[in-house]
Amino acid sequence: MANIGNVWVFIEQEGGNIAEVSLELLCKGRELAGRLGVKTEALLIGDKLGKCVDKLYEYGADTVFLAEDPRLEPFTVQPFAKVIMDLIREYNPNILLFGATMKGRELAPRVASEKLAGLTADCTSLRIDNFDDKVSKKSYTDKLMQIRPAFGGNIIATIVNTWDDPQMVTVREGVMKMDEPMVGRKGELIKVKPALSGVETVVKVIERVREDKDVNLKGAQIIVAGGYGVGSKEGFNLIKQLADALGGEVGASRAAVDAGWIEHDHQVGQTGITVRPKLYIACGISGSIQHRAGMTGGKKIIAINTDPDAPIFAVSHYSIVGDLKTVIPQMIKAFKAKA
Protein backbone atom coordinates (compact mmCIF):
# COMPACT_ATOMS: atom_id res chain seq x y z
CA MET A 1 0.00 0.00 0.00
CA ALA A 2 1.23 3.50 -0.81
CA ASN A 3 2.45 5.67 2.03
CA ILE A 4 -0.24 7.82 3.66
CA GLY A 5 0.49 11.54 3.65
CA ASN A 6 0.33 13.73 6.72
CA VAL A 7 -2.58 15.73 8.14
CA TRP A 8 -2.38 19.45 7.40
CA VAL A 9 -4.16 22.34 9.11
CA PHE A 10 -4.38 25.81 7.59
CA ILE A 11 -3.71 28.32 10.37
CA GLU A 12 -5.70 31.53 10.38
CA GLN A 13 -4.25 34.54 12.13
CA GLU A 14 -5.08 38.18 12.48
CA GLY A 15 -2.59 40.71 13.80
CA GLY A 16 -0.27 37.95 14.95
CA ASN A 17 -2.96 36.15 16.96
CA ILE A 18 -3.99 32.62 16.01
CA ALA A 19 -7.71 32.08 15.46
CA GLU A 20 -9.34 29.75 17.97
CA VAL A 21 -10.80 27.60 15.20
CA SER A 22 -7.25 26.83 13.99
CA LEU A 23 -6.26 25.60 17.45
CA GLU A 24 -9.40 23.45 17.55
CA LEU A 25 -8.44 21.96 14.17
CA LEU A 26 -4.86 21.32 15.30
CA CYS A 27 -6.18 19.26 18.21
CA LYS A 28 -8.52 17.35 15.87
CA GLY A 29 -5.75 16.97 13.29
CA ARG A 30 -3.52 15.41 15.93
CA GLU A 31 -6.26 12.91 16.76
CA LEU A 32 -6.73 11.99 13.08
CA ALA A 33 -2.97 11.78 12.50
CA GLY A 34 -2.61 9.49 15.51
CA ARG A 35 -5.24 7.18 14.03
CA LEU A 36 -3.32 7.08 10.74
CA GLY A 37 0.16 6.91 12.27
CA VAL A 38 1.31 10.09 10.51
CA LYS A 39 2.29 13.65 11.48
CA THR A 40 0.21 16.75 12.13
CA GLU A 41 1.50 19.72 10.15
CA ALA A 42 0.48 23.39 10.26
CA LEU A 43 0.49 25.87 7.37
CA LEU A 44 1.36 29.34 8.70
CA ILE A 45 1.21 31.88 5.89
CA GLY A 46 1.56 35.67 6.10
CA ASP A 47 4.20 38.10 7.31
CA LYS A 48 6.13 38.37 10.59
CA LEU A 49 4.48 35.32 12.16
CA GLY A 50 7.46 33.64 13.78
CA LYS A 51 6.13 34.32 17.29
CA CYS A 52 3.13 32.05 16.57
CA VAL A 53 5.19 28.92 15.89
CA ASP A 54 5.73 27.74 19.49
CA LYS A 55 2.01 27.94 20.22
CA LEU A 56 1.27 25.68 17.25
CA TYR A 57 3.66 23.04 18.60
CA GLU A 58 1.93 23.18 21.98
CA TYR A 59 -1.47 22.51 20.40
CA GLY A 60 -0.30 19.50 18.41
CA ALA A 61 1.73 20.49 15.35
CA ASP A 62 4.69 18.20 14.68
CA THR A 63 5.82 20.40 11.79
CA VAL A 64 5.14 24.04 10.93
CA PHE A 65 5.50 25.25 7.35
CA LEU A 66 6.25 28.96 7.76
CA ALA A 67 5.76 31.08 4.62
CA GLU A 68 6.56 34.73 5.33
CA ASP A 69 6.43 37.51 2.76
CA PRO A 70 5.19 41.13 2.92
CA ARG A 71 3.05 40.41 -0.13
CA LEU A 72 1.06 37.88 1.94
CA GLU A 73 -0.26 40.56 4.28
CA PRO A 74 -3.12 41.35 4.35
CA PHE A 75 -4.90 38.18 3.23
CA THR A 76 -5.87 37.83 -0.41
CA VAL A 77 -6.83 34.47 -1.84
CA GLN A 78 -4.57 34.23 -4.93
CA PRO A 79 -1.13 34.28 -3.26
CA PHE A 80 -2.27 32.10 -0.35
CA ALA A 81 -3.66 29.50 -2.79
CA LYS A 82 -0.41 29.57 -4.77
CA VAL A 83 1.70 28.92 -1.67
CA ILE A 84 -0.55 26.05 -0.55
CA MET A 85 -0.61 24.44 -4.00
CA ASP A 86 3.17 24.56 -4.27
CA LEU A 87 3.44 22.83 -0.89
CA ILE A 88 0.84 20.19 -1.83
CA ARG A 89 2.74 19.31 -5.00
CA GLU A 90 5.97 18.91 -3.04
CA TYR A 91 4.77 17.11 0.10
CA ASN A 92 1.52 15.30 -0.89
CA PRO A 93 -0.59 15.54 2.28
CA ASN A 94 -3.42 13.09 2.94
CA ILE A 95 -5.85 15.47 4.69
CA LEU A 96 -6.16 19.28 4.64
CA LEU A 97 -8.37 21.06 7.18
CA PHE A 98 -9.65 24.64 6.97
CA GLY A 99 -11.92 26.57 9.31
CA ALA A 100 -15.37 27.32 7.88
CA THR A 101 -14.67 31.03 8.23
CA MET A 102 -14.70 33.82 5.66
CA LYS A 103 -11.06 33.10 4.82
CA GLY A 104 -11.45 29.33 4.83
CA ARG A 105 -14.57 29.39 2.69
CA GLU A 106 -12.81 31.57 0.13
CA LEU A 107 -9.48 29.76 0.10
CA ALA A 108 -10.43 26.06 0.33
CA PRO A 109 -12.55 25.96 -2.88
CA ARG A 110 -9.77 27.72 -4.81
CA VAL A 111 -7.21 25.12 -3.70
CA ALA A 112 -9.61 22.20 -4.31
CA SER A 113 -10.41 23.45 -7.81
CA GLU A 114 -6.73 23.83 -8.67
CA LYS A 115 -5.89 20.37 -7.30
CA LEU A 116 -9.04 18.71 -8.72
CA ALA A 117 -9.68 17.34 -5.23
CA GLY A 118 -12.97 16.90 -3.41
CA LEU A 119 -14.08 19.38 -0.74
CA THR A 120 -16.77 19.00 1.93
CA ALA A 121 -17.94 22.25 3.50
CA ASP A 122 -19.19 23.04 7.02
CA CYS A 123 -18.32 19.73 8.68
CA THR A 124 -19.40 19.19 12.27
CA SER A 125 -17.54 15.92 12.91
CA LEU A 126 -14.57 14.00 11.46
CA ARG A 127 -13.29 10.49 11.97
CA ILE A 128 -11.14 7.85 10.27
CA ASP A 129 -12.83 4.66 9.07
CA ASN A 130 -12.90 2.13 6.26
CA PHE A 131 -15.29 2.60 3.35
CA ASP A 132 -16.91 0.18 0.91
CA ASP A 133 -18.06 1.87 -2.30
CA LYS A 134 -21.04 -0.23 -3.39
CA VAL A 135 -21.24 1.53 -6.75
CA SER A 136 -17.66 0.92 -7.90
CA LYS A 137 -17.34 -2.19 -5.70
CA LYS A 138 -14.07 -0.90 -4.28
CA SER A 139 -12.94 -0.93 -0.67
CA TYR A 140 -10.92 1.85 0.93
CA THR A 141 -9.06 1.82 4.23
CA ASP A 142 -8.45 4.70 6.61
CA LYS A 143 -10.54 7.29 4.79
CA LEU A 144 -11.73 10.55 6.33
CA MET A 145 -15.42 10.40 7.22
CA GLN A 146 -16.64 13.97 6.61
CA ILE A 147 -19.85 14.51 8.59
CA ARG A 148 -22.11 17.51 8.10
CA PRO A 149 -25.80 18.50 8.18
CA ALA A 150 -27.59 18.45 4.83
CA PHE A 151 -30.98 19.47 3.43
CA GLY A 152 -31.29 22.41 5.80
CA GLY A 153 -30.10 20.36 8.75
CA ASN A 154 -32.83 17.74 8.41
CA ILE A 155 -30.37 14.88 7.89
CA ILE A 156 -26.75 14.19 8.83
CA ALA A 157 -24.62 13.19 5.83
CA THR A 158 -21.35 11.26 5.93
CA ILE A 159 -19.24 12.06 2.87
CA VAL A 160 -16.15 10.20 1.69
CA ASN A 161 -13.73 11.63 -0.86
CA THR A 162 -12.24 8.96 -3.12
CA TRP A 163 -10.71 11.53 -5.45
CA ASP A 164 -7.04 12.42 -5.45
CA ASP A 165 -5.57 13.45 -2.09
CA PRO A 166 -5.67 15.63 -0.12
CA GLN A 167 -9.09 14.98 1.37
CA MET A 168 -10.24 18.53 2.03
CA VAL A 169 -12.85 19.93 4.41
CA THR A 170 -13.90 23.14 6.07
CA VAL A 171 -14.97 22.74 9.70
CA ARG A 172 -17.34 24.91 11.69
CA GLU A 173 -16.03 26.95 14.55
CA GLY A 174 -16.60 25.55 18.00
CA VAL A 175 -17.53 21.97 17.04
CA MET A 176 -14.13 20.42 17.73
CA LYS A 177 -12.87 20.09 21.29
CA MET A 178 -9.77 22.14 22.02
CA ASP A 179 -7.35 20.33 24.32
CA GLU A 180 -5.10 22.00 26.86
CA PRO A 181 -1.75 23.07 25.37
CA MET A 182 1.30 20.90 26.00
CA VAL A 183 3.52 23.67 27.33
CA GLY A 184 7.11 23.47 26.13
CA ARG A 185 6.38 20.99 23.34
CA LYS A 186 8.59 21.47 20.27
CA GLY A 187 8.50 20.40 16.65
CA GLU A 188 10.14 20.91 13.27
CA LEU A 189 10.13 24.27 11.48
CA ILE A 190 10.28 24.35 7.68
CA LYS A 191 10.72 27.84 6.25
CA VAL A 192 9.12 28.29 2.85
CA LYS A 193 10.09 30.95 0.32
CA PRO A 194 6.88 31.87 -1.54
CA ALA A 195 7.31 31.77 -5.32
CA LEU A 196 4.95 34.63 -6.13
CA SER A 197 4.64 36.50 -9.40
CA GLY A 198 2.70 39.58 -10.44
CA VAL A 199 -0.21 37.32 -11.38
CA GLU A 200 -0.81 36.21 -7.78
CA THR A 201 -0.30 39.65 -6.27
CA VAL A 202 -2.38 41.70 -8.70
CA VAL A 203 -5.20 42.19 -6.15
CA LYS A 204 -4.54 44.84 -3.50
CA VAL A 205 -6.60 45.47 -0.36
CA ILE A 206 -7.34 49.21 -0.31
CA GLU A 207 -9.61 49.32 2.72
CA ARG A 208 -11.07 46.81 5.15
CA VAL A 209 -14.36 47.62 6.86
CA ARG A 210 -15.42 45.58 9.89
CA GLU A 211 -18.70 45.45 11.69
CA ASP A 212 -18.62 44.09 15.21
CA LYS A 213 -21.26 41.55 16.16
CA ASP A 214 -23.67 42.38 18.95
CA VAL A 215 -23.46 38.86 20.36
CA ASN A 216 -20.62 36.44 21.11
CA LEU A 217 -22.30 33.09 21.73
CA LYS A 218 -19.15 31.09 21.26
CA GLY A 219 -17.37 32.78 24.16
CA ALA A 220 -20.43 33.14 26.41
CA GLN A 221 -20.38 31.32 29.76
CA ILE A 222 -24.13 31.75 30.25
CA ILE A 223 -26.70 31.52 27.45
CA VAL A 224 -30.47 31.92 27.71
CA ALA A 225 -32.04 30.62 24.49
CA GLY A 226 -35.58 30.95 23.24
CA GLY A 227 -37.46 28.77 20.79
CA TYR A 228 -40.75 28.78 18.94
CA GLY A 229 -42.51 28.35 22.27
CA VAL A 230 -41.61 31.96 23.13
CA GLY A 231 -44.54 32.86 20.89
CA SER A 232 -43.49 36.16 19.32
CA LYS A 233 -40.74 38.69 18.74
CA GLU A 234 -41.98 40.61 21.77
CA GLY A 235 -41.76 37.40 23.80
CA PHE A 236 -37.98 37.49 23.44
CA ASN A 237 -37.92 40.52 25.74
CA LEU A 238 -38.46 38.05 28.58
CA ILE A 239 -35.52 35.94 27.37
CA LYS A 240 -33.35 39.07 27.23
CA GLN A 241 -34.39 40.07 30.76
CA LEU A 242 -33.28 36.72 32.16
CA ALA A 243 -30.03 36.86 30.20
CA ASP A 244 -29.34 40.37 31.52
CA ALA A 245 -30.08 39.29 35.08
CA LEU A 246 -27.60 36.41 34.80
CA GLY A 247 -24.99 38.36 32.84
CA GLY A 248 -25.37 36.06 29.83
CA GLU A 249 -26.08 36.15 26.10
CA VAL A 250 -29.33 35.50 24.24
CA GLY A 251 -29.51 32.43 22.00
CA ALA A 252 -32.28 31.04 19.84
CA SER A 253 -33.43 27.95 18.00
CA ARG A 254 -33.70 27.86 14.23
CA ALA A 255 -37.51 27.96 14.44
CA ALA A 256 -37.39 31.29 16.26
CA VAL A 257 -34.88 32.70 13.77
CA ASP A 258 -36.90 31.49 10.77
CA ALA A 259 -39.99 33.15 12.28
CA GLY A 260 -38.12 36.47 12.21
CA TRP A 261 -38.20 36.97 15.97
CA ILE A 262 -34.41 37.32 16.35
CA GLU A 263 -31.32 37.63 14.15
CA HIS A 264 -29.39 34.63 12.81
CA ASP A 265 -26.28 35.59 14.83
CA HIS A 266 -28.16 34.27 17.90
CA GLN A 267 -28.93 30.84 16.40
CA VAL A 268 -27.61 27.78 18.22
CA GLY A 269 -27.43 24.40 16.48
CA GLN A 270 -26.04 22.63 13.44
CA THR A 271 -27.06 25.47 11.13
CA GLY A 272 -25.99 28.08 13.69
CA ILE A 273 -23.31 28.24 16.38
CA THR A 274 -22.01 25.36 18.47
CA VAL A 275 -21.66 26.45 22.10
CA ARG A 276 -20.22 25.04 25.34
CA PRO A 277 -21.28 27.43 28.12
CA LYS A 278 -21.19 26.75 31.84
CA LEU A 279 -24.97 27.31 31.92
CA TYR A 280 -27.49 26.91 29.09
CA ILE A 281 -31.16 27.69 29.71
CA ALA A 282 -33.48 26.48 26.92
CA CYS A 283 -36.85 28.27 27.04
CA GLY A 284 -39.68 27.02 24.86
CA ILE A 285 -37.31 24.91 22.75
CA SER A 286 -38.62 21.48 21.79
CA GLY A 287 -35.11 20.09 21.30
CA SER A 288 -34.73 18.86 17.73
CA ILE A 289 -31.60 16.84 17.03
CA GLN A 290 -30.19 19.78 15.06
CA HIS A 291 -30.49 22.13 18.03
CA ARG A 292 -29.25 19.60 20.58
CA ALA A 293 -26.11 19.00 18.53
CA GLY A 294 -25.16 22.63 19.05
CA MET A 295 -25.63 22.87 22.83
CA THR A 296 -25.20 19.51 24.53
CA GLY A 297 -21.62 20.48 25.38
CA GLY A 298 -22.99 22.85 28.04
CA LYS A 299 -21.87 21.92 31.56
CA LYS A 300 -25.31 22.59 33.06
CA ILE A 301 -28.48 22.63 30.97
CA ILE A 302 -31.85 23.84 32.27
CA ALA A 303 -34.90 23.30 30.06
CA ILE A 304 -38.31 24.99 30.40
CA ASN A 305 -41.16 23.58 28.35
CA THR A 306 -44.88 22.96 28.74
CA ASP A 307 -44.56 19.53 27.09
CA PRO A 308 -43.27 16.92 29.57
CA ASP A 309 -42.24 14.71 26.64
CA ALA A 310 -40.20 17.39 24.82
CA PRO A 311 -36.89 15.94 23.48
CA ILE A 312 -34.94 18.75 25.13
CA PHE A 313 -35.55 17.08 28.51
CA ALA A 314 -33.50 14.10 27.36
CA VAL A 315 -30.31 16.20 27.47
CA SER A 316 -31.12 18.67 30.26
CA HIS A 317 -29.70 18.35 33.76
CA TYR A 318 -32.69 20.17 35.26
CA SER A 319 -36.17 20.05 33.70
CA ILE A 320 -38.98 22.50 34.42
CA VAL A 321 -42.42 21.62 33.04
CA GLY A 322 -44.30 24.87 32.91
CA ASP A 323 -45.13 28.08 31.05
CA LEU A 324 -41.96 30.12 30.51
CA LYS A 325 -44.01 33.32 30.95
CA THR A 326 -44.59 32.22 34.54
CA VAL A 327 -41.30 30.45 35.23
CA ILE A 328 -38.86 33.07 33.90
CA PRO A 329 -40.17 36.00 36.02
CA GLN A 330 -39.90 33.74 39.07
CA MET A 331 -36.30 32.86 38.14
CA ILE A 332 -35.42 36.54 37.68
CA LYS A 333 -36.99 37.44 41.00
CA ALA A 334 -35.22 34.61 42.83
CA PHE A 335 -31.85 35.46 41.31
CA LYS A 336 -32.10 39.16 42.11
CA ALA A 337 -33.17 38.34 45.68
CA LYS A 338 -30.16 36.08 46.15
CA ALA A 339 -27.80 38.57 44.48
Q: Which amino acid is at 296?
A: T
Res. 234 pLDDT band, cuts 50 70 90: very high
Which of 185-189, 218-222, 266-270 is predicted most confidently? 185-189
d(CA 117, CA 104): 16
243, part of any domain: yes
- Whether 90 and 65 have beta carbons less than 8 Å apart is answered as no
Average pLDDT of the segment spanning 89-111: 96
pLDDT higher than 50, residue 329: yes
d(CA 222, CA 74): 35
pLDDT higher than 60, residue 191: yes
Q: Which amino acid is at 68?
A: E
Q: Which residue has the higher pLDDT, 275 or 16?
A: 275
Residues 230 and 319 in one domain: yes
Res. 152 pLDDT band, cuts 50 70 90: low
Residues 167 and 246 in one domain: no
Average pLDDT of the segment spanning 259-278: 91
226, part of any domain: yes
Q: Report the pLDDT value the prediction gives residue 338, as an integer from 0 to 100.
A: 80
pLDDT higher than 90, residue 156: no
The H-assigned helical ranges of the chain are: 20-36, 53-58, 77-91, 102-115, 236-246, 254-258, 289-292, 324-338
pLDDT higher than 90, residue 85: yes
Residues 46 and 87 in one domain: yes
Residues 45 and 165 in one domain: yes
Range scoring the smallest mean pLDDT among 16-30, 181-195, 200-214: 200-214
Compute φ and ψ for 138, nearest 5 degrees: -115, 150
pLDDT higher than 90, residue 219: no
Residues 23 and 168 in one domain: yes
293, part of any domain: yes
178, part of any domain: yes
Residues above pLDDT 70, as percent of the chain: 97
Res. 80 pLDDT band, cuts 50 70 90: very high
Residues 162 and 97 in one domain: yes
Q: How far is CA 316 from CA 196, 299, 303, in A?
A: 54, 10, 6
Range scoring the smallest mean pLDDT among 38-47, 118-127, 132-141, 195-204: 195-204
Is the pTM of the predicted complex or chain greater than 0.75?
Answer: yes
Domain CATH for 238 = 3.40.50.1220
Residues 133 and 270 in one domain: no
2, part of any domain: no
Residues 20 and 156 in one domain: yes
Residues 160 and 238 in one domain: no
Closest C-alpha to 161, from 115, 120, 211: 120
Q: Report the pLDDT value the prediction gives residue 1, as an integer from 0 to 100.
A: 40
Residues 175 and 278 in one domain: no
- Whether 69 and 194 have beta carbons less than 8 Å apart is answered as yes
pLDDT higher than 60, residue 123: yes
d(CA 316, CA 331): 17
| Arithmetic mean of pLDDT over the chain | 92
Apex CA 293: angle with CA 59 and CA 23, to 5°?
Answer: 15
Task: State the sign of the Cα–Cα–Cα–Cα dihedral 317, 223, 293, 236.
Answer: positive
For residue 284, what are the domain limits? 222-338
Element (DSSP H or E) covering residue 95: strand 95-99
Domains contained in the chain, number: 2
Res. 39 pLDDT band, cuts 50 70 90: very high
Residues 73 and 144 in one domain: yes
d(CA 248, CA 228): 20
Residues above pLDDT 90, as percent of the chain: 76
Domain CATH for 117 = 3.40.50.620
Average pLDDT of the segment spanning 57-86: 95
Q: Report the pLDDT value the prediction gives residue 200, as an integer from 0 to 100.
A: 73
Which of 75-89, 193-207, 265-279 is predicted most confidently? 75-89
Query: How is residue 256 annotated by DSSP?
Result: H
